[in-house]
Amino acid sequence: MMMMMKMYFHFRIMESILFQQWMTSNMIEYVFSCIGVAAIAFVYEAVKFAGLIIRDMEKRDPGQGSYEIEQEAAQIENGTRVVVMRLNIFNGSLFPTSRKCLMLHTVDSAVHFVEMLLVYSLMMIAMTYNVPIVLSMLMGHIVAYFIITPIAPELSQDVAQEAGNCCS
């Protein structure tokens, strides 16, 4: 008979965390699992920061590739405004033209893969609804943010601006 997953927050120690083999059966395994979950969250934040650095390098590489969106407003006879947007990717080409830009884009894609793998794994861990495990995951995120953000505050501000502009 298959056990049903608890769909409410609980404090159960015997918990299958991410894989069937990652099952805690005593307090020591449970504590080390919480530390492991916090470490996964910390690594996710570090990988996310590495991706920001790579994307910033791609933006600053003059003439090799830009992700900037140009907006142009056109007046129509009845007074309605239409915004025409042109997306310049890699100087009008669909793919990177220089070797350096191609390398940065390849590394960025690999980092993005790892970032998505970690974030979806953390989502599945959060769906265990185990309070100490979820709290340890949040602590991993918070500690990583506290340590990593001062390294390059201008990148953190760019991310905050992007997040702030998405819903306006």
pLDDT one-digit tens code per residue, 122-138: 999 999 999 999 999 99
Q: 99 is in which domain, residue-wise? A: 23-62+94-148
C-alpha angle 98-104-108 in degrees, rounded to nearest 5: 145
47 is a domain residue = yes
How confident is the model at residue 56, as a pLDDT? 79
76 is a domain residue = no
11 is a domain residue = no
Rounded (10°) CA dihedral 94, 97, 100, 102: 40
Domain count, the chain: 1
Tokens of 150: 């001062």
How confident is the model at residue 129, as a pLDDT? 92
Predicted confidence (pLDDT) at residue 24 exceeds the cutoff of 90: yes
Residues 156 and 45 sit within 8 Å (Cβ to Cβ): no
135 is a domain residue = yes
18 is a domain residue = no
How confident is the model at residue 53, as a pLDDT? 85
pLDDT one-digit tens code per residue, 66-98: 444 444 445 455 555 555 444 455 555 555 566
Most confident of 103-117, 127-141, 151-165: 127-141
CA–CA gap between residue 82 and residue 44 (Å, rounded): 40
Strand partners, 82: 74
How confident is the model at residue 160, as a pLDDT? 53
| Span of 13-27, 52-66, 108-122 with lowest mean pLDDT | 52-66
How confident is the model at residue 58, as a pLDDT? 75
Reduced to 3 states (helix: H, G, I; strand: E, B; else coil), residue 84 is strand
44 is a domain residue = yes
159 is a domain residue = no
48 is a domain residue = yes
Distances (CA, A) of 89 to 46, 94, 103: 27, 6, 15
How confident is the model at residue 27, as a pLDDT? 95
Tokens of 87: 């997306």
Q: What is the mean pLDDT of the chain?
A: 78
